[in-house]
Chains A and B, each alone.
Chain A
Amino acid sequence: GAVVSQHPSRVICKSGTSVKIECRSLDFQATTMFWYRQFPKQSLMLMATSNEGSKATYEQGVEKDKFLINHASLTLSTLTVTSAHPEDSSFYICSARRFWEEQYFGPGTRLTVT
């Protein structure tokens, strides 16, 4: 099956710093990648959709200047949380899809901002 990896799996950073999370599709080329955020005991909330080589499309209420998404190749997308604050602490999950196939999820990244 298709494998999606995320790095790092856990990260702790200080308030005001920036954190970059990588999402890679390991054995397929992903035409579209998605970034989700999940708070404890809540479901996944879509943050943005990115297609390789074009700008990401952000969901309403998600600040594009705070959550920078880059999808430079068909196998890599990055999410950078800029000037992180404690309220940004969450579980960030990416998923990747090739054309109209199902989405494959990465293992997630637990971000803690102190």
Chain B
Amino acid sequence: GQNIDQPTEMTATEGAIVQINCTYQTSGFNGLFWYQQHAGEAPTFLSYNVLDGLEEKGRFSSFLSRSKGYSYLLLKELQMKDSASYLCAVRDNTDKLIFGTGTRLQVFP
């Protein structure tokens, strides 16, 4: 079956660094995506990994290890506006995007 696991909730302080982990077991693998979703809004694209390693984009970085079925999203210099849900999603071998349950991040001043 398809399984994507993320922590349900995390908290962090403004200015700090937080790492959100994602482990997956899916029918095939054609890339891993991270999305940010604010309450009541649609997800917005953050990053895409298809090869092992780290992809850096400003304050956000995403890491992938295909052999371990593992990814993380790293957020640096946290801001209050980063309080949101972060969704890990894997594109499987049928071309579908399978979403994890999401991690709700709260940033405190």
Contact = CB atoms under 8 A, between A and B. Distances in A.
Contact of B102 (A43, A46, A104, A107): A43
B45 A43 contact: no
Nearest to B44: A105
B84 interface: no
A44 B96 contact: no
Q: How many of chain A's residues touch chain B, expressed as a range? A: 20 to 34
Contacts of A46: 96-99
A34 B102 CA distance: 19
Interface of A: 32, 34, 36, 41-46, 49, 91, 93, 95, 102-108, 110
Interface in B17-63: 33, 35, 40-45, 48
B64 interface: no
Given A43-B87, A102-B48, A108 B41 contact: yes
Nearest to A46: B96
